[in-house]
Each structure stands twice: as C-alpha cells, then as structure tokens.
Amino acid sequence: MLAYVITRTVRWGSGLLLVLVTTYAMMFYGAGDPVKRMFDELSQGGAVFDKSVQDAMRKELGLDKPFHEQFINYLVKLSQGNLGISIRERRPVINMVRVRLPISVQIGLMATGLAALIGIPLGVLAALKHNRWTDTTIVGSAVFINAVPVFVTGPLLLVFFVLVLDIMDVPFGWKGPFDKQIILPLILMTMAPLPALVRQTRAGLLEVMGEDYIRTARAKGLTERMVVMRHMLRPVLIPVITVLGFIMIGLVNGALFVETIFNIPGFGQLTYQGLTQVDYPVIMAVVLIGTVIVMVGNLLVDLAYPLLDPRITAGK
C-alpha cells in the first residue's frame, strides 16, 4: 500500500512537473511577452508609454530573464507556497485564488451532494422498475442531460425561467451559497455528474439483483426496503465512487461555463480572465490547481477502493 502510494506520487509528481514546464514554455515561446501585450492594449486607448517603463516592469516581474531561469525561479517560489504576482492586477495570485476558489468549491460540493442525493435513488428506482416506463424515462433523460452541453442548457433554462415562466430575475454574480440566485447555477452544475451516477447505480443494481444472496434475503422474510438498502445497495455503491474522478473534471470544466454565463466570480472566471489576458502567473496557477484537483480525485478513488472492497488491493 505504502509502496503504491509512493510510486503513484512519483509518477504523478513528475507528470505535474511536465505539465508545468509545458504550460510555461507554451506561454513563454507561444503567447509572447505579457508586458508588451498589456501596453499594446493600453496604447490602443491612446496612452503613450516610454519604453523604459516596460523594461522596468519586466525587470520587476523577472520577465527579462531567459526561460530556464524564469522557470526555476517559479519552481522555487512555488515550493514556498508563492504562486507569483499577477501581471495585470499586480497582486499575489494566491490572494486571488483564496477569494475565487472557495466560491467554486462551495457550488461544486453542493452540486455533487445534490447529484448523489438525486442520482442514486433515481438509479435504484430505474433498476427496480427495469424495462418499464419509469426506467425508460429515467434512462432517457439521463442520456439527454449527458448529451446536451451545459452552455446550451444554461441559456435555454434562462429563457424558459426568466422569459417564458417569468418567475425569476436574471441570476447574476455571487451573494453566498444561501441566496436564491444560486438555484440556476446549482441546477446546471448538478446536471453534469447526474447521468453517470444514475447509469452506474442502475447497472450495478441490475447485476446484483439476480444473485443468490438476494433471494436468501427475501426468503428469510426481510422487507423489500431492507433487501434493497442493506443487500443490494451496499456492494453497488462501491463502483459508484469510481465516477468521482470524472465528476472532478466535470466540475472544473463546468465551472468555466456556468461562471461565464452567470458572471459568478469563482475559479472558472479566474481561469477565463487569466487566459484571455495572458497573465502567466494566473494561468500557471489555474492549470496547477485544476490538474491537482483531478489527480487528487483519482488518487482518492484508488485509495478508497481497497478500503471499501477487500477483494481488491491497491495498485492492481
């Protein structure tokens, strides 16, 4: 187990390093000088700058050095927990992340919880009513929700709720997790992991339903409720957690769209802002955090699996 964790850490740690080098190189050689880009934009507005101002700014941010020096500097700072200073906003990126990330995490956690609360019972219901209209409806809607991307559902729901039904104002911005404005973003974020949860639960339950021990449980006179909750659902919920890694990717990707549509100042918007402004330190930070979130999600799945199911050992 320990050996497994160590090899895994080395494998992914080196991978993360590769991701960081590649991203930095893509920015350095591809996207070009962020200071020049910023001043070009400013001078389009009619402002005139002395070249020495740009040089001073480059020097201050360490952008005048060659690639390898810049990157090593970045790594040293990173190991001290310093994500660098935003070129556009001139403040530590870590502070920006501290403000933005919790907002997305709150929505993400609520959405995952809600999806589990809705998805697992729906999966059970579909399996119990196998091949009847309830099953068909649930599976059919899951396919629909899975196929239609969030940036299509979002606008359509907006038109429907605000214009057709006229029951809400346009949700805009962030007023905390308990404000009613969160309803629509939350619905959209919940829709992403929902189909996978339903499908996984349903498939697992269908597989287990014919087993001998289920018949035994019924034969000894347990109520149907007990049979489902105790005997069917328990082994089924183990594979359900494998979709966690998938959910993580979905949440990071989904935040980008939902926060763009509803103008929520979260992690997704920070990503968007960093990339459109070619703000190196911000881009590096969001790539780092996004990748770590997904990697940790996958690692948790792999570690939790053998704990929940003794037949499986980690690393296999």
Partner 1 sequence: MTGAGEVAQDTIASQIGLGDLSQPARVRSLWRDAMRRLLKNRLAVAGLAVVLLFLFAAAFGPYITPYDFLAQNVKEALQPASARHLMGTDPLGRDIFSRILYGARTAFLVGFTATAISLTIGILLGSLAGFMGGRVDSFIMWLTDITMSIPGILLAMVVSTALKRPIAAWFERMYMQTRHPFYLNTLWLDFVLVFGALAFISWPGYCRLIRGQVLSLQKLLYVEAARMVGGRTSHIILRHLIPNAIGPVVVAVTAGIGGAILLESSLSFLGVGVQPPNASWGSMLNNSLSLWRTYPHLMVYPAVTIGVIQISFTFLGDGLNDALNPRQTR
List the one residue from 1, 9, 32, 76 that touches partner 1 (CB under 8 A).
Answer: 32
Distance in Å, CB of 206 to partner 1, minimum: 8
Q: How far is the CB of 220 from partner 1 (least distance, A)?
A: 29
Q: Residue 257 CB: number of other CB atoms within 10 A? A: 20
Contact call for residues 103 and 119 (beta carbons, < 8 A): no
Eight-state DSSP code of residue 47: -
In this chain, which stretch among 20-28, 40-48, 214-222, 232-240 interacts with partner 1, using CB under 8 A? 20-28
Q: Applying CB under 8 A, does 269 fall inside the site for partner 1? A: no
CA dihedral sign of residues 85, 291, 77, 23: negative
Is 217 or 274 the residue whose CB approaches partner 1 more closely?
Answer: 274
- Give the contact letters, 162-191, x = binds to partner 1 (CB under 8 A), - = no: xx------x---------------------
* Direct distance between the N- and C-terminal alpha carbons of the chain, in angstroms, rounded to an integer: 11
The residue from 6, 11, 183, 213 that contacts partner 1 (CB under 8 A) is 11
Q: Would you say 72 or 156 has its CB closer to partner 1?
A: 156
Instruction: State which residue, 95 or 263, has the beta carbon closest to partner 1.
Output: 263
Number of residues that bind partner 1 (CB under 8 A): 49
In this structure, the number of other CB atoms found within 10 A of the CB of residue 290 comes to 21
Q: Which of 291, 300, 302, 303 binds partner 1 (CB under 8 A)?
A: 291
Closer to partner 1 at the Cβ: 185 or 217?
A: 185
Specify whether the CB–CB gap between 201 and 127 falls below 8 A.
yes
* Candidate segments 7-15, 56-64, 116-124, 184-192, binder of partner 1 by CB under 8 A: 7-15
DSSP 50: -
Q: How far apart are alpha carbons 122 and 236 in whole angstroms? A: 14
Q: Mark 214-253 as b/e (b = at least 16 C-beta within 10 Å).
A: beebeeeebeeeebbeebbbebbbebbbebbbbbbebbbb
Task: Report how far residue 52's alpha carbon sits from residue 58's, in angstroms, rounded to the nearest whole number.
Answer: 10
The answer to whether 12 contacts partner 1 (rule: CB under 8 A) is yes
CA distances in angstroms from 211 to 116, 159, 229, 308, listed in the order given: 25, 48, 15, 20
Interaction between residue 71 and partner 1 (CB under 8 A): no
Q: Which of 52, 79, 80, 276 binds partner 1 (CB under 8 A)?
A: 276
Residue whose CB is less far from partner 1, 48 or 163:
163
| Shortest spacing between CB 163 and partner 1, in angstroms | 6
Binding mask of the shown chain, residues 216 to 255, with x at each position contacting partner 1 by CB under 8 A: ---------------------------------x--xx--
Burial zone of 302 (CB within 10 Å; 0-12 exposed, 13-18 middle, 19+ buried): middle
- H helix intervals, the chain: 2-25, 34-44, 51-61, 67-79, 93-128, 133-147, 150-158, 183-191, 194-209, 212-219, 224-226, 233-240, 243-262, 267-276, 280-308
Q: Does 35 bind partner 1 (CB under 8 A)?
A: no
Query: Residues interacting with partner 1, by CB under 8 A?
Result: 11-12, 15-16, 18-19, 23, 26-27, 29-32, 143-144, 146-149, 151-153, 155-156, 158-159, 162-163, 170, 249, 252-253, 256-257, 260-261, 271-272, 275-276, 278, 283, 286-287, 290-291, 294-295, 298
